[in-house]
Structure 1
Amino acid sequence: MLILATNDDGVYSPGLRALAGAMATLGETVIVAPDRNRSAVGHALTLERPLRAQEIEPGIFAVDGTPTDCVNLGIHGLIMQRPDLVVSGINSGSNMGDDITYSGTVSAALEASLMGIPAIAVSLDASIFSDSDLLVATRFVVKLARQLMEKKLPPDTFLNVNIPSGGCLGVEITRQGKRRYGKAVIVNEDPRGRKYYWIGGSSVGFEDIPGTDCCAVSRGYISITPLYTNLTSDSSCESLKNWLLQCDDGGS
């Protein structure tokens, strides 16, 4: 089995190296990851310039692009064989609730799923990894990956995994939760009196909704959320059919 490992924290991230080392127990593992931190770039794809990839160690490629770029290059250019599995992470900090729309970690797994390859995104709810946290995370992901390859997922589905720090009480299958955010943009002045803006206000918590990823991790459980690549709201389609919508062809 050939496994492609990537992330959005950068190719030198200890979480990525730990993940790749663990996945190597299941099969040949190749790393294709951004050459620097590319957190919160979402599902961005680089189209306005060429990409460069450097093999910094055998089987480890650094790409001057986004996590989505890395998955594309890994599947279509850098690796001679199509990977059987893509794993993204281990991210520094959780990717739950609304945060998944910004996450490069989750978007890398999404891209793999769009390409028809089974994928797992893995995040650890800690800004600094401890050895024990990484051990728990890597052991769990290996078990999950083994089951994923044996039992398969429905088409167009991938897994978003969030792991609490400080140990875990169990595993829950969850839905995407809802974050609550504080002030989203900080406005300040530089020493020359010019305004600057810093996007990314601190999170102030989450909606305490049972069965969601945020709720599970806050209670000390590993959260596994199956995500779907098709964003269509089927219920809204039925509702919209009752709207009086028509096209104006511009005629008199």
Structure 2
Amino acid sequence: MENVTDSKSKGEKGTILVTNDDGIQAPGLNALVSVLVSTHRFNVLVCAPQLEMSAVSHSITWRQPLRVEKVEMDGATAFKTSGTPADCASLGVSSVLFPSVPDLVISGINQGSNCGYHTVYSGTTAGAREAFLNGVPAISISYDCYGGLSLEEFEKMLRVEAGSKTKMNYEYEAAAKACLPIISGIIAEIKNNTYPQGCFLNMDLPKDIANHKGYKVTKQGKSTMKIRWKQITSNGQPSEIDHHLLFRRQISITPLGILTHPDKDCKAYFEDWLPNLIQQHQSHNPLLD
């Protein structure tokens, strides 16, 4: 990979671009930005999806414009986009959105871990990978906030107040602070032109991060998610559902309202109207039989 940091001055603050896949409003991203800004050691840039983009992997926006809008974020220059995490990282290091290429791209802090083969599905990991593909050092950071809890149990826990802050804010602030030694060390290596260019880093933080037991270099495991499918029954008989008719090579004509279902009288009208229409056409065109 090409080293894009050779021209960076060692005396300047390190410039960090932050992105994620949970969206611009996510507590993990906001906690990370707040902690980075509070150190006064970094210039902090943000380019993140306007909506949640979890599990979009390395997908990119293709054949349509990418919408970008500036947002207010204390101490940082921030934009939200209509794109994916990979889009955000690509745009953020392109020198189109910001005046220069950042020293480091951080994607996260993600809500939930990204270990093993989970990184294939992860939009968080893809944000860092895209920066790496563009020759910019990068880290993806994920926090195992669930820690064995079900999603419902975790969300209930987050509603518990911890002083003047919610439990969620406290947890992610602690997670961001735990990352600071690694981030600062990487920036120092980049400034010294000694940071390796052959990989990007994926950091996973354990639950109860404030009481973590240190840092360790690991190798990627083979854990993966098992996608489970559940069959559900649509409202209505198969003969009445649009896609069932397509399997029988019939033409489906579906009255729609503004969003989905139309007024009942409208549906009744077309149920009477369509057979008569087809009968009239068949009498004039035998090919419709």
Q: State if a TM-score over 0.5 links the two structures.
A: yes
Tell me which residue corresponds to 2:27.
Answer: 14
TM-aligned CA distance change 1:135 to 1:183, over 3 Å: closer
Residues of 2 paired with 1:75 and 1:183: CA distance?
34
**Aligned pairs (5 A) from 1:32-71:** 32-57=47-72, 59-71=77-89
Task: State whether residues 116 and 156 of structure 1, in contact with CA within 8 Å, keep that contact through their aligned partners in structure 2.
Answer: no
> Which of residues 145, 164, 186 in structure 1 aligns to 2:206?
164
Residues of 2 paired with 1:193 and 1:153: CA distance?
62
Deviation at 1:135, TM superposition (A): 3.0
Residues of 1 paired with 2:228 and 2:121: CA distance?
14
Tell me which residue corresponds to 1:84.
Answer: 103
Task: State whether residues 6 and 33 of structure 1, in contact with CA within 8 Å, keep that contact through their aligned partners in structure 2.
Answer: yes
Task: State whether residues 32 and 173 of structure 2, in contact with CA within 8 Å, keep that contact through their aligned partners in structure 1.
Answer: no
Tell me which residue corresponds to 1:123.
Answer: 142
Deviation at 1:10, TM superposition (A): 0.3
Greater alpha carbon shift after TM alignment, 98-107 vs 184-193:
184-193
**Aligned pairs (5 A) from 1:199-214:** none
Deviation at 1:183, TM superposition (A): 4.9
3-state secondary structure, aligned to 1:9: coil
Task: State whether residues 9 and 36 of structure 1, in contact with CA within 8 Å, keep that contact through their aligned partners in structure 2.
Answer: yes
> Which of residues 185, 199, 203 in structure 2 aligns to 1:147?
185
Give a deviation string over 1:176-227, Cα, whole Å, max 9, x none.
Answer: 11225445322222333569xxxxxxxxxxxxxxxxxxxxxxxxxxxxxxxx
Task: State whether residues 27 and 169 of structure 2, in contact with CA within 8 Å, keep that contact through their aligned partners in structure 1.
Answer: no
* One-letter code aligned to 1:106: T
Task: State whether residues 122 and 162 of structure 1, in contact with CA within 8 Å, keep that contact through their aligned partners in structure 2.
Answer: yes
Q: Does 1:133 align with 2:171?
A: yes
Q: Which runs of no fewer than 5 residues in structure 2 stay unpaired?
A: 1-13, 147-153, 159-167, 242-289
* One-letter code aligned to 1:177: G
Residues of 1 paired with 2:178 and 2:224: CA distance?
29
Residues of 1 paired with 2:224 and 2:68: CA distance?
38
3-state secondary structure, aligned to 2:205: strand
Task: State whether residues 35 and 173 of structure 2, in contact with CA within 8 Å, keep that contact through their aligned partners in structure 1.
Answer: no
Percent identity of equivalent pairs? 36
Tell me which residue corresponds to 2:15.
Answer: 2
Tell me which residue corresponds to 2:249.
Answer: none
TM-aligned CA distance change 1:75 to 1:183, over 3 Å: closer
Tell me which residue corresponds to 1:103.
Answer: 122
- What is the aligned length? 195
The root-mean-square deviation of aligned C-alpha atoms, in Å, is 1.9
Tell me which residue corresponds to 1:211.
Answer: none
* One-letter code aligned to 1:27: F
Residues of 2 paired with 1:182 and 1:174: CA distance?
23
Tell me which residue corresponds to 1:179.
Answer: 223
- Bigger radius of gyration: 2
3-state secondary structure, aligned to 1:120: strand
Residues of 1 paired with 2:34 and 2:69: CA distance?
20
Q: Which runs of no fewer than 5 residues in structure 1 stay unpaired?
A: 196-252
Deviation at 1:75, TM superposition (A): 1.6
TM-score of the pair, normalised by structure 2: 0.63
3-state secondary structure, aligned to 1:161: strand
> Where is the helix percentage greater, Structure 1 or Structure 2?
2
